[in-house]
Structure 1
């Protein structure tokens, strides 16, 4: 039950899992090329028990209004689990299972489990939130920082969302759905048939990010990296589109990254 880094290998693909650093994926290298931006705050971190920003850090939990710390003033952002140390439940050469027990400031007891499964051509991340006590609203998502440049070529993004969530001046969805606009983006998109976004580094690699979930945030306002974030609801979703975790029904989500060498 340590939280030391874990290395998974399948063919020429290698993944570093960092339970002690917020349960994040610290690296994904394919044939020696590192796809994820390095350093402690990057890689790919889990967004749980909420994704993106909560307006003013407040959300309705039954009859109670909860206040989360304003770690991105005036909002609370990206959940609490990325700031904690996760534990390793089990590992094999190509799979790791890590867990995190939600603690204060989150008001409910629950266990988050993340399964990281690597093959020669794909990485699948599966996350669940389980409780044996009271029910509560929650979200699950992933926040990967993909390197913009690979082998000297810049990434190209290709996706066809059904709509874009109109973004207010406070960076939160207004509730209006609009036709997708050209980037640069820090925006949430709706893909009702499931998230499907392809990142292509011409001459190097094509990486497809898929998920049965219907929401994806795309962020490409940085020179160093682009983010493609599948999630179970939009930003501020604890208020606008809550998903309940109950003792009978955990919240579960999955995303797969599959790649083709060009």
Structure 2
């Protein structure tokens, strides 16, 4: 099937899926309010087969060291799938299934499947990475750019992480866990009971980002947007906390955004 944009609708909610633009969610409108920052690099893109930065773009798999392109020098950032064209597998009124085959520069063959499901009050994103050949380390995450302001007061963020990954001068976790510090953030937090972050645009909308995963990066250093990124491991996790994709066991993750109007 083609990789043209897909529009999902449910009640007064509308989501735009863009297979041809890195498999991202190009927009999410609720009652006419667009929640995501617009533009070809924004919306909400999938981070796969890794999340955040890989130190110096290098990761080890057993005895082999692989070098990824330094697209955020001196590091490699956010995976390769957001730069590729995905294919549409199937579409119904409230659900789209899109796929992406891992190719160079990623050194292992594999397939990523993303399911986007919209209801009147929630958007659920599910992703899996499968291989039929050699096993490899991978990560899954999502990088939404929520508007800081929807025309009223700026958004408020509420979450209660168990810890914050101490961030080094190179923007990567040092390996030490510290008590959560006040923002602004470009930081990874641990939520062992599952990611649960609430964004409140006063007088307009409240949205909760949840996931069974225990890692979330919060990025709010830009004036126009706030990012809440559930993921299967911390930045540089291919080196520090690798999750293996094997022929018998895919890597799977999910996140749900649930909203209610004020």
Indicate the residue corresponding to 2:52 in structure 1.
Answer: 52
Indicate the residue corresponding to 1:134 in structure 2.
Answer: 134
Uncovered stretches (5+) of structure 2, i.e. residues with no partner:
none
Deviations 1:133-187 (A, max 9, x none): 0000000000000000013221000000000000000000000000000000000
Tell me if the contact between 2:138 and 2:243 (Cα under 8 Å) persists in the aligned partners. yes
Structure 1 runs, 4 residues or longer, greater than 2 Å off: none
Indicate the residue corresponding to 1:74 in structure 2.
Answer: 74
| Aligned-pair Cα RMSD in Å | 0.4
**Is 1:260 the equivalent of 2:260?**
yes
Q: TM-score, normalised by structure 2?
A: 1.00
Tell me if the contact between 2:152 and 2:202 (Cα under 8 Å) persists in the aligned partners. no
What is the Cα deviation at residue 127 of structure 1?
0.2
Uncovered stretches (5+) of structure 1, i.e. residues with no partner:
none
Indicate the residue corresponding to 1:202 in structure 2.
Answer: 202
Tell me how far apart the structure 2 counterparts of residues 31 and 141 of structure 1 sit (CA, whole Å).
27
Tell me how far apart the structure 2 counterparts of residues 152 and 165 of structure 1 sit (CA, whole Å).
32
Indicate the residue corresponding to 2:222 in structure 1.
Answer: 222
SS of the residue corresponding to residue 71 of structure 1 reads coil
Tell me how far apart the structure 2 counterparts of residues 101 and 131 of structure 1 sit (CA, whole Å).
10
**Is 1:23 the equivalent of 2:23?**
yes
Indicate the residue corresponding to 2:7 in structure 1.
Answer: 7
Tell me how far apart the structure 2 counterparts of residues 87 and 189 of structure 1 sit (CA, whole Å).
33
Matches within 5 A, 1:44-193: 44-193=44-193
Count of aligned residue pairs for this structure pair: 262
Tell me how far apart the structure 2 counterparts of residues 177 and 219 of structure 1 sit (CA, whole Å).
18
What is the Cα deviation at residue 63 of structure 1?
1.4
